[in-house]
Amino acid sequence: MNEKQQSLWDFMVQQHDKLLDQTLAHIGLTFISLLIAVAIGVPLGILIAKRNKLAGTVLGFAGILQTIPSIALLGFMIPLLGIGAKPAIAALFLYALLPIIRNTYTGIIGVEPSIREAAKGMGMSSSQVLFKVELPLAMPVLLAGIRTATVINVGVATLAAYIAAGGLGEFIFGGISLNNTNMILAGAIPAALLAIIFDFLLSRVQHLTVKKMGVVVLALPVLVLLLSSFYLLPAAYEGKILAGFTPEFMGRTDGYLGLKEKYKMRIRTVVISDAVMYKAAYEKKLDVISGYSTDGRLKAYDLVTLIDDKNIFPPYYAAPIVREEVLQQYPELEEALNMLSGNIDDATMTELNYRADYLHEMPGKIAKDFLIAKGLWKEPRKGKKGIIKIGSKIFGEQYILSNMYSMLIKGYTDLDVETKTGLGGTKICFDAMTNKQIDMYPEYTGTGLLVILQTGTDTVNKLITDKNAVYEYVKDNFIGRYHIKWLKPIGFNNAYALMMRRKQSEQLNIKTISNLKAYIDVN
Amino acid sequence: MITVKGLRKNYGSNRAVDDISFDIQEGEKFILLGTSGCGKTTTLKMLNRLIEASAGEIKVNGEDIKQHDPETLRRGIGYILQNNSLFPHYTVEENIAVVPQLLGWDNEKIKARCKELIQKLHLSEEYLSYYPAQLSGGQQQRVNIARALAADPPILLMDEPFGALDPVTRSSIRKELTQLDEYERKTIVMVTHDVDEAFEIGDRICLMDKGKIQQQGRAAELLFKPANDFVRNFLSEHYMQAALKTVKIKDVWYGFDAEPGAVAMTSEGSIWEAMELMQDKPVIYAVEKSNGKIKKIERNILLELFSNYTATQV
């Protein structure tokens, strides 16, 4: 335990500049959106307190916004505002709005009618009644709303990393993808601490007497403005070319770290979810992205992969991995699963992914069509011999493969299948496997080598150019360490690749990663 | 000082106040009496335009109150509500200072006025820095009175000012109010449903029901010459007490013997007051202010004279 804590500390020290950037960006995102939400929510709350007829409509609308899942709200923002800070701030603003409007409204409505009447009866004008009596008395409730909104925003702001807006989500999602607990904690702990600290500070303000609160309430916007400005700090590198990389890619030696080390690339980067990355490249929001070479969107958005002339991306041949225990119990399983081997090459997989990601066909239908075309499909036997739990990560290719395996198992054995699809990233999937929550899922040799086995640099460098050597290495080590068996590779290689728009790559004559580096250095 | 003519307030088709007229003289204590929903509070609030009249005319010192904006009008009229109407986020001093501040007095003057008022209302100066929540109900209501008197307005409007207090506190604060040196010159309009309170404070009482005035006049007129059954029934429960408060010692002055002694009250006082003073002694001495004549008041004789007097009035 002590060793582990030490290494988390090491990680944080080692990554302190990134951590600081992310924390400041996180604070900035939280408070810019909060500032806008206060600036709009408080007057709106006052308005509906004065015009009660509007209250139902406004609160209802803000309530509906609140119920939209945060990741979906971010998704809706992209067509409107693109990627980066704007959609993130807009989404956070919408989340902060309801508690602020509602508490302003409740606070003002809650002022004793006799007190309001006394204020009028003394001869205060309506603005004097508002500022001298209603707002000060509503302040504790109003501040409670701002407090709720702040804590919500600190939490939701982690998702901003999905759309290239930065923040501590970069570490959290990077860590989940990379099976790196330290990285997750390096993001999660500061995020939790921010929430706790802001909540505590605001609770102190809330419990001040109204008199002292006056000073604080004046100081607060200044402070918030200051905190917001963190976000506007200049980016590390300037340049014409903007790269969008997934959190996973950012943290991998066979990713951004390798680009920096082996290619000496100094490129302006933002972190972004692969769900929106391809579209952002197509819409010219990004110039270079880190994609997968069999991704269907490659075809859909007319992107080209750059040649990895220095071999930093190891091979990612897909193969089913199965718990040994299950294979011993149901030996017929191996034969059924191996039927797919040699049947899908890169082009075929890209085509299948294209149908899923771009034509939005259901993975089950794509899988069945494919198996029928290959003459592999058989009616399910509806066997009850046992249940195989198939997992998959949360992207189209994995859904398609897990569907194919499900059909093969049902058609060729007397086993039944239970699918647990959409298990976040590698870490979640693999942990589910070691904890016997699932029996098998499709994995990639490169991921096994680097992410799960965390193989040392020297060994990786030796293996990396030979796809068979990588396969044999992970196969041996998985059996030894985890009692998990790699079956035969399916055939295609879904490796990491840098991608650009075809047109831009032709215009700039960039064909390899070295070309790209040369171009960036000049411009 | 206050003239109301044909005053009306409609809420939809419901006439909350229906064609009311009255005149209030300077220094007069005018009571709007009635059960809840009779329109008395609505009438009061129309006087400082917290509620705008649907029809009719209100003049203060001969000027229509609609000639000025409502804020200016209200700053010139004291307004006392129940004790939970103090501003809870202001100290006692800041509460009292509200109207002077709105009128733009300088700080020295406001401070001095706050101190003066707090003393007049028998609270010690340290209370000035307290918040309303730290005071008892009675203390809060004293501050409430001080707040209304702060800018020394000639008119005081009081909306059930003692309604939330217990009977003992209520009568003691009522006494303090009536003993203030500025009390005599204030023109007061008070809303109450409490008959005893109305008869104790009111020079003139306006009894309302269903938005209309049933009878207005001096206490004795309502008591001894009720205009209709409503007035009679309304007062019947409180008849004895009201009568004791209405009939003055001077009304039965003829029946007592002149005899020098320690004067306890004037002949302007009510029979009720004399009875209270006679709780622990059979005899007190009263003086007639105009000529300094002192007479001996005995309980037996007093009660007999009182019952004779009321009999002749009905």
**Mean of pLDDT over chain B:** 90
Which has the closest alpha carbon to A137: A203, A205, A211?
Answer: A211
d(CA A67, CA A65) in angstroms, rounded, equals 5
Which structural domain range is residue A133 located in?
2-232
Instruction: Specify the pairing of strand A288-292 against strand A242-245.
Output: parallel
Residues 6 or more apart whose Cβ sits within 8 Å of residue B78: B148, B149, B151, B153, B155, B156, B157, B186
Preferred mutation among A111, A116, A122 to probe B, highest tally of B CBs within 10 A: A122
Residues 6 or more apart whose Cβ sits within 8 Å of residue A369: none
**One domain, residues A163 and A268:** no
Contact B85 A115 (CB under 8 A): yes
| Nearest chain A alpha carbon to B81 | A118
Contact A114 B84 (CB under 8 A): yes
Burial A464-497 (b: 16+ CB within 10 A, else e): beebeebbebbbebbeeebebbbbbbbbbbbbbb
- CATH number of the domain at B152, please: 3.40.50.300
How far off is chain A from B11, nearest CA to CA, in Å? 19
Q: Is residue A206 part of a domain?
A: yes
**One domain, residues A146 and A84:** yes
Q: List C-alpha distances in Å: B53 to B4, B67, B74, B182.
A: 11, 14, 15, 30
Q: List C-alpha distances in Å: B219 to A478, B29, B224, B243, B248.
A: 104, 11, 9, 9, 11
B268 has a pLDDT exceeding 80: yes
Q: Nearest Cβ partner of A122 from B88, B89, B98?
A: B98
Choose the final residue of a domain: B219, B243, B267: B243
d(CA B104, CA B109) in angstroms, rounded, equals 10
pLDDT in the model for residue B83: 65
Contact A122 B86 (CB under 8 A): no
Choose the final residue of a domain: B226, B243, B260: B243
SS3 state of residue B29: strand
**One domain, residues B230 and B252:** no
How far off is chain A from B133, nearest CA to CA, in Å? 13
Residue B69 buriedness (CB in 10 A; 0-12 / 13-18 / 19+): exposed
**One domain, residues B8 and B134:** yes
Which structural domain range is residue B211 located in?
2-243
For residue A143, list chain B residues with Cβ-Cβ distance below 8 A: none
pLDDT digits (tens, 9 = 90+) for B91-117: 999 999 999 999 999 999 999 999 999
**One domain, residues A10 and A138:** yes
For residue B150, list chain A residues with Cβ-Cβ distance below 8 A: none
**One domain, residues B218 and B305:** no
User: CA angle A358-A361-A363, nearest 5°?
Assistant: 110
| Nearest chain A alpha carbon to B73 | A123
Structure tokens at A391: 């997992």
**One domain, residues A469 and A503:** no
Q: Is residue A77 part of a domain?
A: yes
Contact B79 A137 (CB under 8 A): no
Choose the final residue of a domain: A232, A260, A277: A232
**One domain, residues A49 and A78:** yes
- Give the DSSP H or E segment for A85: helix A85-109
Which has the closest alpha carbon to A97: A50, A64, A137, A75?
Answer: A64
**One domain, residues B49 and B93:** yes
**One domain, residues A179 and A255:** no
**One domain, residues A280 and A341:** no
* Percentage with pLDDT > 70 across chain B: 99
Q: How many domains does chain A have?
A: 3
**How many residues appear in chain B?**
314
**One domain, residues A436 and A455:** yes
Q: Nearest Cβ partner of B87 from A133, A209, A211?
A: A133
How far off is chain A from B78, nearest CA to CA, in Å? 7
For residue A114, list chain B residues with Cβ-Cβ distance below 8 A: 81-82, 84-85
ipTM score of complex: 0.85
Preferred mutation among B98, B129, B141 to probe A, highest tally of A CBs within 10 A: B98
Contact B102 A115 (CB under 8 A): no
| Nearest chain B alpha carbon to A209 | B89
Report which DSSP code applies to A235: P
**One domain, residues B171 and B282:** no
**One domain, residues B159 and B256:** no
**One domain, residues B110 and B125:** yes
Choose the final residue of a domain: A206, A232, A258: A232
| Nearest chain A alpha carbon to B149 | A122
Cβ-based interface (< 8 Å): residues of B facing A: 48, 50, 71-76, 79, 81-82, 84-89, 98-99, 102, 147, 157
**One domain, residues B21 and B154:** yes
Is the sign of the CA dihedral A397, A399, A400, A406 positive or negative?
A: positive
Structure tokens at A196: 């706790």
Structure tokens at A121: 């009866």
**One domain, residues B179 and B232:** yes
Q: Nearest Cβ partner of B74 from A112, A122, A136?
A: A122
How far off is chain A from B74, nearest CA to CA, in Å? 5
* Percentage with pLDDT > 90 across chain B: 48
pLDDT in the model for residue A209: 62
**One domain, residues B276 and B211:** no
Q: Is residue A246 part of a domain?
A: yes
Contact B79 A121 (CB under 8 A): yes
User: CA angle B67-B71-B74, nearest 5°?
Assistant: 90
Q: Is residue A503 part of a domain?
A: yes
Contact A121 B48 (CB under 8 A): yes
Choose the final residue of a domain: A180, A200, A232: A232
Q: Nearest Cβ partner of A118 from B73, B81, B89?
A: B81
| Nearest chain B alpha carbon to A128 | B102
SS3 state of residue A494: coil
Quote the distance between the C-alpha of residue B54 and its chain's center: 27
Q: Does residue A166 contact residue A157 with C-beta atoms inside 8 Å?
A: no
Cβ-based interface (< 8 Å): residues of A facing B: 112, 114-115, 117-125, 128, 133, 136-137, 209-211
**One domain, residues A483 and A468:** yes
**One domain, residues B203 and B239:** yes
Q: Does residue B139 contact residue B172 with C-beta atoms inside 8 Å?
A: no
Contact A123 B85 (CB under 8 A): no
Contact B74 A120 (CB under 8 A): yes
| Nearest chain B alpha carbon to A138 | B89
pLDDT in the model for residue A231: 61
Contact A122 B99 (CB under 8 A): yes
B308 has a pLDDT exceeding 60: yes
Q: Does residue A358 contact residue A297 with C-beta atoms inside 8 Å?
A: yes
Residue A457 buriedness (CB in 10 A; 0-12 / 13-18 / 19+): exposed
**One domain, residues A381 and A301:** no
How far off is chain B from A126, nearest CA to CA, in Å? 9
State the CB neighbour count (10 A cutoff) for residue B134. 12
For residue B157, list chain A residues with Cβ-Cβ distance below 8 A: 121
Q: What is the pLDDT along chain A (523 residues), one digit of tens a residue?
A: 344 455 888 888 888 888 888 888 898 888 889 989 999 999 999 999 998 888 889 999 888 888 888 878 877 787 788 777 888 889 999 989 999 999 999 999 999 999 999 999 999 999 999 999 999 999 889 989 999 999 999 999 998 888 878 888 888 888 877 777 888 899 999 999 999 999 998 888 877 766 666 676 677 777 777 776 666 544 444 567 888 888 878 877 778 888 888 888 888 888 888 778 888 888 888 899 988 888 888 888 888 889 888 888 888 899 999 999 999 999 999 999 999 999 998 889 989 999 988 888 899 999 999 999 999 999 999 888 899 999 998 888 899 999 999 999 999 999 999 988 777 778 888 999 999 999 999 999 988 998 899 888 888 888 888 888 999 999 999 999 999 999 999 999 988 889 999 999 999 899 999 999 888 888 7
Choose the final residue of a domain: B198, B222, B243: B243
**One domain, residues B267 and B140:** no
Q: Is residue A377 part of a domain?
A: yes
- CATH number of the domain at B254, please: 3.90.1280
- CATH number of the domain at A334, please: 3.10.105.10
B33 has a pLDDT exceeding 70: yes
Contact B75 A118 (CB under 8 A): no
| Nearest chain B alpha carbon to A140 | B89
Q: How many domains does chain B have?
A: 2
Contact B72 A112 (CB under 8 A): no
| Nearest chain A alpha carbon to B83 | A114
**One domain, residues A322 and A303:** no
For residue B75, list chain A residues with Cβ-Cβ distance below 8 A: 122-123
**One domain, residues A148 and A289:** no
How far off is chain A from B89, nearest CA to CA, in Å? 6
Binning pLDDT at 50, 70 and 90, where does residue B84 land?
confident
| Nearest chain A alpha carbon to B99 | A122
Q: Is residue A237 part of a domain?
A: no
Contact A112 B84 (CB under 8 A): yes
SS3 state of residue A418: strand
| Nearest chain B alpha carbon to A116 | B85
Q: Is residue A82 part of a domain?
A: yes
